[in-house]
């Protein structure tokens, strides 16, 4: 059953999809509102409450030209970019308070045997999510437009684990990231099943600052595998923890945002939302 938060986000995502499809025509507020069956006043208010900025301002952040500008201005490596950005105040970055612990070879091979996994459903600015944790950290987070299907995806990743539908403190702490209430946020620990290469790629993704973008090629260079852009793309596509590991911040070298496992409109919404919040801090 869809929550009101999910319904509202779906309308916003539909609006963003319409904007992208008609980008060259620069649709006005009335046209966009009509496409999502809202009055211009109601749409403007809903969008501003969700994004923190007006629809017009938001469009500036998600435009292709803006993405190209960001990439052009970005330094040659992610490391240089991270140092350039600054790490204080409300612009704290993922790599300051997140770390990955890889599962043991036995846990990796036996499908989570002897693992006890808690999971719960929660709301985010981008729709309903499923979040799951072991005693060591978050092991899975995905957008759950259909809850039963989302749980089946989780269970397929750990077919031999024991599951409990329970919201625990590890999950609660991680969910604060969506509210930007970072005063309440302790270090987020991730407990992930992945190859050494995948873990290295995922760790690198966490160093992309909120409100900034990178490319597959830049990630490949950062891990000293400059010719492995395609393998990097595969590892990014296998990311088991949406948003916390920000694969949505990786776009094509041409400046186009590209596809996303949980929908291109959602990826665009996430990029724009982060840019809007970064500029407002």
- Residues annotated as catalytic are 247
- Give 76-88 as a DSSP string: SSHHHHHHHH---
Burial of 20 (0-12, 13-18, 19+ CB in 10 A): middle
Non-local (6+) Cβ contacts of 138 within 8 A are: 131, 132, 170, 171, 174, 188, 189, 190, 191, 241, 244
Q: Choose among 185, 179, 198: nearest CA to 240.
A: 198
Angle, helices 55-62 vs 264-280, to 10°: value is 110
Contact 163, 112 (CB under 8 A): no
Non-local (6+) Cβ contacts of 2 within 8 A are: 10, 128
User: What is the distance between the alpha carbons of residues 168 and 132, in angstroms, rounded to a whole number?
Assistant: 9
Per the structure block, which two tokens stand in for 146? 């259909």
């Amino acid at each position: 059953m869809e929550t009101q938060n999910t319904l509202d986000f779906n309308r916003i995502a539909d609006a963003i999809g319409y904007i992208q499809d008609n980008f060259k025509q620069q649709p006005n507020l009335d046209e966009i509102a009509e496409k999502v069956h809202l009055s211009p006043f109601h749409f403007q208010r809903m969008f501003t409450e969700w994004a923190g900025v007006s629809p017009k301002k938001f469009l500036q952040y998600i435009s292709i030209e803006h993405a190209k500008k960001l990439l052009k201005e970005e330094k040659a490596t992610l490391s240089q970019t991270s140092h350039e950005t600054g790490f204080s105040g409300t612009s704290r970055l993922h790599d300051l308070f997140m770390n990955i612990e890889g599962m043991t070879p036995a846990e990796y091979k036996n499908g989570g045997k002897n693992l006890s996994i808690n999971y719960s459903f929660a709301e985010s600015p981008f729709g309903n999510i499923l979040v799951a944790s072991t005693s060591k950290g978050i092991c899975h987070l995905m957008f759950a437009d259909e809850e039963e299907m989302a749980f089946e995806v989780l269970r397929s990743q750990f077919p031999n684990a024991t599951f409990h539908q329970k919201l625990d403190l590890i999950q609660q702490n991680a969910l604060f990231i969506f509210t930007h209430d970072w005063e309440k946020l302790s270090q987020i620990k991730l407990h992930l099943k992945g190859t050494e290469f995948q873990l290295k790629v995922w760790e690198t993704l966490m160093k992309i600052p909120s409100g900034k973008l990178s490319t597959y090629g830049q990630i490949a260079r950062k891990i000293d595998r400059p010719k492995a852009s395609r393998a990097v793309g595969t590892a990014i596509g296998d990311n088991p923890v949406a948003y916390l590991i920000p694969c949505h911040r990786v776009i094509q070298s041409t400046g186009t945002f590209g596809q996303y496992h949980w929908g291109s409109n959602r990826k665009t919404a996430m990029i724009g939302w982060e840019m809007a919040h970064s500029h407002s801090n």
